[in-house]
Structure 1
Amino acid sequence: MRKGGPFLALAAAETLSLSGTRLSTIAIPWLVLSTTGSPVLTGLTAMMEMLPYVAAKALSGPLIDRVGPKRIAVVCDIASVAVVMLVPMLDWLDLLGMPLLLPVVFAMGVLRGPSDAAKQAMVPDIAELAAVPIERVTGLVGAIERLASTAGAAGAGALIGLIGSGQALAVNAITFAAAALIVGVGIPGLQRVPEPRGMPKPCGLPEARKGGMSSYLGDLREGWRFLRGDAVLVSIVIMVATTNLLDQAYHAVLLPVWTQSSGHGPELLGAMFSAFTGASIVGAAIAAAIGERMPRLTVYAVAFLLTGFPRFLVIALDAPLSLIFLTLTIAGFASGFLNPILSAVIFERIPKPLTGRVTAMNAALCFALIPFGGLLGGALISMIGLAAALSLTGLTYLAATLSPLALKSFRGFDKPITQS
């Protein structure tokens, strides 16, 4: 197999699955909002998907290390096809009410969590196979993620307007099926090989348990101990978890409610997502090209400042659409630098035998508050109104992006650590 083959396969699979996921993140909130008119129920539906997503992602790490990320990704994506198809089927039968929709989105989250964690765990091995710096691989993966999100968002608005929110989810099921096929055929097993006994343990790793028969909970504890002992990883988790909470409130409730209350349809919502993610492709591509030469902490801090607060402010002020799209474009461009830098820092600091469990734990903790973002957005709108809710979440976002810079331990962000 050519060196670039596994990377191209991962890129294609990510493009398909993320395009479908972006479609569902627009279609499902719009479905609930248009049928119930309730921001709170819209937030509850988002929570019902993200809560199991986070839990399943955190718990899947040891399984990924034991059986390999490829198998987990393929099995979960195949199962997702059947689950996601329930939405258009129930819609076609005129049975798609909240009592049936909520269990379906719960199951979607259960399956998406391990699948996403498994694909992420493949990155270090694929970088090694391709013999390129990990910043380049994470940058290219970031660009692909944003390309997929742009295509999914742009297509979602038009597709929802054409065939309805429920039926649009059939396309999501097709993308999961294609992703499973590509990963199954195009990526090697990438099984995690336990470190031989007697070899030095980096960063105070414990010796392997006798016979390699460690308990699943023991594996989870081992990943947690490593994660909490690294000050940089802890700082990243706190900052990203907070901003993810606010981003989820923005995407799942605040922006859809503003769009609807302003007299616009799902087409504009999709176009705004596309403006953000489309510009982020350019940022991620630049990060892929020069990522290893960038001053990580400086770029990270500036990018987060541009990505966050301005988006909330222009919507809160009900600015003209031209200014909103300009702000989203600048914010999207800046956001393209974030994940490549974050991923490179995280992968560099984790020993290879712990890749699955620590990356899954880290990602799950970063996503831990997302399930409550929709409820937060809905509750704030109900209590203080849309404009005040946007202003408050935007200011909180600004504080969250600045606070880690005051921590001395966070300076280690700029110091690469290569684990064996």
Structure 2
Amino acid sequence: MEKELAYALDTFYFLISGAFVMWMAAGFAMLEAGLVRAKNTVEILTKNVALFATACIMYLIIGYNFMYGGGYVLPGFDLILSMADNTAEAVTAGGDDAPYYSNLSDFFFQVVFVATAMSIVSGAVAERMKLFSFLVFAVIMTGFIYPIQGLWSWGGGFLSEVGYSDYAGSGIVHMCGAAAALALVIILGPRRGKYGADGKVNAIPGANLPLATLGTFILWMGWFGFNGGSELAVASVDSANNVARVFVNTNMAASGGLIAALLVAKAMFGKADLTMALNGALAGLVAITADPLSPSGLLATIIGAIGGVIVVFSIVGLEKVKIDDPVGAISVHGTVGIWGVLAVAVFSGASFGAQLIGIASIFAWTFGLAIIVGFIIKAIMGLRVSEEEEDAGVDISECGMEAYPEFTNE
């Protein structure tokens, strides 16, 4: 009876954590909708809801098996049917060989992670990438690219064997998504009007900063499931204590990242830049994700604060080299994702060599495949909307409607 109770509690905790991570999809949608121009709002929202559904389907039929089924190319109907039938688990619950949570709860928790990685891409390519070209890329990203590199670490592959440590995915999820985003942004090029003839960087403000702020708070909240759920259990004293520490450290890192980014922005620009503050909070969250369990609350705050400093300089630096990322996703999830992975070696005793191998492997695989897939999609169906469509806004050309029809779409 005690084992069955633990099984039920851990399964329930896994499912609730997965629901929290799923809620991050709403955070990404609101953040991105707030940071793009009004004329591109409907299209970015459509991308976010469609990518989530695409990720869920692709991970069910093929991605999960790549990552946790031994790397087989096709799952076969037996896997799909077994995932829809929990009878065997119900019979063996509490037995000596039973898992301590339902396998279906594990799938649900993992599928929302792959959707998170894909959400990172949508913000970086906003305002100029074709909707259905993006969704074709999402099929490849969520069905093949992400799961295969996930196999190398969480699936028991060579990265886990060399000692690569990444508790909840600063590299496996966040840097992976950012690497794919970087590849597509390079192929797409910057938005029209982003750079002047003399190379001057022109600011393109988002249409709805209250919405972007709401999105950041939603992501902050969802991250408790992202990191807390990665403890994988809560039904023992040790695991419950670990979950509590993870929650506290996650919250403190976000706080440290926000304050640090706000102060750096004030020093650099002379003003309190809200968008930098929001990205600072997210940077702190990404930074602590590789190890939210080991540090003290104060150290977690410092790790997050370093991420907040890094993200401001990264956003400014990428703009100068004409990497146009409307929401700062590549910096938040990529540059700071690298810091998060290295922070495990700096503060928690992981091998620097193993962490560097992990960073290099994940980036090379994801960026390389994303470049190839991006060029193939470009050749077959095109990747970028026309200049006329971009100037008018992709809401009308891609979706046939406007988010704010009563206002002028500028």
TM-score normalised by structure 2 residue count: 0.31
Q: Considering Cα pairs closer than 8 Å and 6+ residues apart, tell me whether 1 or 2 has the greater RCO.
A: 1
